[in-house]
Amino acid sequence: MIEQRLSDARGLGDHGWLRSRHTFSFANYWDPKQTGFSDLLVINDDRVSGGRGFGAHPHSNMEIISYVLDGSLAHKDSMGTGSVIVPGDVQLMSAGSGVTHSEFNNAKEAGVHFLQIWVVPAEKGTAPGYQQVSVADGEKRGQFKLIISPDGAEASLKIKQDVRIFAGLFDGGEQQTISLPENRYAYIHVARGSITVNGVTFGEGDGARVRNESELTFSDGKEAEVLLFDLRPIEVNHPTR
């Protein structure tokens, strides 16, 4: 079953310098039917104006992924990490027992467009950590590339949960069929462009919960960038953020 959630159904936070679409309940957006899916808690589609950003703020017991689509995002944290992430980069910060970080768009005029994704960790109170990798477009072209996994397979970033995240680029005749592991859930998020999945058309910002499907066929992409999440088959209500 593919349970589609269209882009316009997402929550909206518009703060002038920040325009954010929330796939799941977040901040002032609350929908009791949209409190995450399995261990996936947040997908925020953020657009930040030039010269603006998120000041230093704390997190704990959360796996936080940043995936830049356009522009560049400067990161600093209390672990002493400082980096700039650009399209193709994947960043994973394990907040663990506690970390403070900031994210800023240093460009004077150009905006930055990125996804921030939160995954609930398997254990609380672990040591915080930071990882980053750059994935070339060629590794994602017409196929899914593993970017995050619990064991760091295929040079992916290592997450503290039984979750695997894949990224793919599809255009024209490019097509891939993914066999889903038995007794697993999946989540689809189309970051940009459009694509067809098992005959269902997805546009930019659309997503879907996937249950009881043995395979997914991605085809008819139009400049599509897609994230695919392989998740534990659990139904969990996350009442707080």
Q: Please report, in range form, the residues annotated as the binding site.
A: 57, 59, 101, 103
Cβ atoms within 10 Å of 144's Cβ, excluding its own: 20
First and final CA of the chain: distance in angstroms?
27
Q: For residue 202, report the phi and psi dihedrals to the nearest 5 degrees.
A: -120, 135
**Sequence-separated (6 or more) residues with CB below 8 Å from residue 209:** 2, 3, 5, 37, 185, 187
Residues at the binding site for Fe cation are 57, 59, 101, 103
**What is the CB neighbour count within 10 angstroms for residue 61?**
17
Any bridge partners for residue 35, and if so which? none
Q: Where are the alpha helices (DSSP H) in 30-174?
A: 137-140
